[in-house]
A and B are shown apart, each in its own frame.
Chain A
């Protein structure tokens, strides 16, 4: 094949959804193998590896993100039914949920407020501007809720989306280290903390720890999504007064 037909083929393929879709699955397949090779070590996070691979390929081939997403959206779309499907493992923990309702509620309120306030405090202290801080505040919850909250309060929704994903990856990578350090071995406490701090990406990790941790993570993720939408608008005036942005 000569040079012209190769570049012609690339132009053809990169304009179809098939390429973005296939690239996503191939990148994830490679990332998953690396993840397995490192014995599911949390630092070899499959989302992080796949994203790094894709960003590298797209940058090198000068492919705009939007063109890639035309194909990748078919994978992205499955997030909806997958979120609904979290009801099934959640139902499996029904007995424990009933028994633990009060401790779970108290922990959720404390964890959710800390997730919002600590991010704002550190960001403001290190000189982030106010629009960045508003985009940062809802970082611990699932992307659509975080984006809606940021948009309503004058943040940048697409920056929020990037920060949400980064938070999820960070949470999935560091959770076991934190639990080991604090000697928390209870699957319910581990899963619930991951769900509050690191939403769906954390929940994917929690399911690798145990089905029980996964179910509690799914519960925390859903409840924290609802609570954050209420808490962020209410907390921001306080945070602005306490930690002035530069």
Chain B
């Protein structure tokens, strides 16, 4: 677990350094994920320890969003005054994005299979 955690933090650190130096508005961990993915492709897969630690970390991914989510209490005033446009925009946009994306990929994949 210790080695695997070091690998994950190491890739995050490299990602942070790259986004800082390049001045991109992209978070370091996302760059770190892309780099680790490339390394896994080159090395043909993660070791057993890295797999196990990652699965452990990802099995309760929801927990990690709780502290940031609780920050919603800082916006009570604006949420109270603009709740209707905000709630309607979030709901309509989320439903539309989910539906259109799923149907789009489903149709494109089926079309590709028919051609083969």
Contacts and interface: CB of A to CB of B under 8 A. Distances in A.
A43 to B, nearest CB: 14
B41 A165 contact: no
Interface string B92-107: 1111111111111110
Interface residues of B, number: 74
B68 A161 contact: yes
Interface string A189-208: 11011101110110111010
Contact of B65 (A27, A73, A139, A204): A204
A189 B102 contact: yes
Contact of B106 (A58, A126, A189, A225): A189
A227 to B, nearest CB: 11
B98 A81 contact: no
Contact of A174 (B29, B69, B94): B94
Given A84-B12, A88-B50, A225-B30, A186 B106 contact: yes
A86 B33 contact: yes
A42 B101 CA distance: 20
Interface string B17-30: 00000001111111
Interface in B80-95: 82, 84-86, 88-95
B9 to A, nearest CB: 6
A87 B40 contact: yes
A122 B61 contact: no
A126 B98 contact: no
B70 to A, nearest CB: 5
A83 B66 contact: no
The SS class assigned to the A binding surface is helix
B108 A72 contact: no
Contact of A114 (B24, B66, B100, B112): B100
Contacts of A18: none
Given A84-B11, A126-B84, A126-B88, A193 B98 contact: yes
Contact of A68 (B70, B97, B105, B112): B70
A123 B90 CA distance: 9
A17 to B, nearest CB: 12
A54 B11 contact: no
A229 B65 contact: no
B98 A178 contact: yes
A236 interface: no
Given A110-B100, A143-B68, A193-B101, A55 B89 contact: no
Given A132-B78, A159-B75, A170-B91, A201 B65 contact: yes
A124 B82 CA distance: 11
A54 B71 CA distance: 10
Contacts of A152: 25
A16 to B, nearest CB: 16
B64 A197 contact: no
Nearest to A124: B85
Given A76-B67, A165-B68, A222 B30 contact: yes
Contact of B66 (A51, A110, A184): A51
